[in-house]
Chain A
């Protein structure tokens, strides 16, 4: 009798960990974009949705398999992001940050609206790739392999991005640009190109999360806006200050959300916001944040 709740508990923790991976990848992209562009990318959820639709459509229309999609869809969405930045967002440089937010808000409405117009609001199923089906036996519990895959690959990508930002030459330029773009530019580094790259990288990360999500969640136009608002709360809790902070906070909140589904299901949809409220009262700058 005690075993069953333990099974359920562990099951929900892994589901929470999977969600946490999505939060981590999304909030990482948000933090990167915010760092260099000073824009809260409201279209992040829509880009995530584009990723999921990308893998779905590539399979349905072109017969492209999951693995190629996992590689190509983020690149395509990233290129789309680069175009958006280069030709539209760039016009807002130097204005109040809020205009960037409002612009991307409009962009999100357009993207989601177009997909809803074509595909409706119902979820579309995407098959789990054959090699990732089935369960993995850990002795004390059995896990769907696809969930393990999501957690593993997301963590890998998060660490790779962290390494890129914190340990490479390019990353040092990016961090310098976040501190003071004008001086970096004066030192002969092409900051506008770097900005485009970062927006593309953030968009690609969002799309990557979308591709991963397609087999376990239904592919549907509004999937992005729901997860985006939670991601915002994650970002507020973690603070936009650090790359590692975004990753850790995302994972932790996913697990907390998973636990709440077992312990007190009534609050499971609001728990992240409750945590946010508590953090705001105790540490207004967020757990890893610098005062903004």
Chain B
């Protein structure tokens, strides 16, 4: 039960130390936005066990929404993120409602196809600025009071959002709702026979995941000042899958670590120094997708549990060797 608290502390410590260590706030903000995206994705796929290849639609929708309401209607950041949350959540409810009845591979293909439909809507819709996207999205003061124009204060704000949501998700997983999700993932027929409305649980988790992915997109748009087609493109869905797979799918901190690794890798490879404003897509450098693809294949072939997952497994097998009784006791208590 202490996991959520220790995660909270770890995140805050790392988050506060990072700019002190001389990392650029721009780079860090991109890390935070994508980490939140990965956390949202992991909340659904890691805990429900269904692979969504459609999360780019929510990320993109969130980015466009936040960008549009900030630029055109003059919304303050917290309002803009709130609208992103609602729009992406609603989209998630609709997409999830269609996809959730199907299992495994069909679910993956349906989410991908529906997300592609959203992408084409983004290409054609009048408010997305087509190929140009929404550029120069201003940073308005938080709550109309706090100035966020400095990168460091903006970073502090997005870090708070990331920490709060990650902690919240962890709390949900410790609550009965989360326990039911895990039960469904591990043994769906049994969860049904216990009387749980499985579809409703899955759909709720998908909608929550989509809504937070929208917030992540909103954060990205507000911090980098840009929302565009790459945000909604299916490669972005692939990106977030890789982040979670690399860091450790289903672990609370894995997605964040994976996101940091992928963002670092991309910005290093692009050869433009650490920060890269403008586009999150692969388009800037031609070498990035090849290497990302190889990492994908290696992850799947060799370490499917991801970095955090492998470390955790190594630790628990060490523990089990030392005190077999404790390990057994833990197992029964979590199965309870």
Contact = CB atoms under 8 A, between A and B. Distances in A.
B190 interface: no
Interface in B204-253: 234, 238, 241, 245
Interface in B277-309: 282, 286-290, 292-297, 299-301, 304
Contact of A101 (B51, B234, B292, B301): B51
B121 interface: yes
B102 A292 contact: yes
Contacts of A15: none
B108 A40 contact: yes
A156 to B, nearest CB: 28
Interface in B88-103: 98-99, 101-103
Interface string B123-161: 110000000000000000000000000000000000000
B294 A106 contact: yes
Contacts of B264: none
Given A98-B105, A117-B286, A292-B105, A107 B297 contact: yes
A105 B105 CA distance: 13
Interface in A217-241: 225, 229-230, 232-233, 235-236
Contacts of A276: 110, 113-114
Contacts of B108: 40, 98, 101
B104 interface: yes
Given A88-B301, A109-B292, A113-B293, A101 B105 contact: yes
Interface string A98-115: 110111011111111110
Given A102-B245, A109-B289, A273-B117, 10 more contacts: A40-B109, A91-B301, A102-B300, A109-B296, A113-B288, A230-B116, A276-B110, A276-B114, A277-B98, A280-B101
Residue in A40, A116, A280 whose Cβ sees the most chain B Cβ within 10 Å: A280
Interface residues of A, number: 44
A236 B107 CA distance: 9
A34 interface: yes
Interface residue range, chain B: 35 or more
Interface of B: 51, 98-99, 101-106, 108-110, 112-114, 116-117, 120-121, 123-124, 234, 238, 241, 245, 282, 286-290, 292-297, 299-301, 304
Given A40-B105, A113-B290, A270-B121, A277 B295 contact: no
Interface in A222-268: 225, 229-230, 232-233, 235-236, 266
In the complex, which of the residues A40, A108, A110, A272 has the most CB atoms of chain B within 10 Å of its own CB atom? A110
Nearest to B95: A277
A240 B206 CA distance: 25
A110 B291 CA distance: 7
Contact of A97 (B102, B104, B292): B104
Contacts of B286: 113, 116-117
B289 A229 contact: no
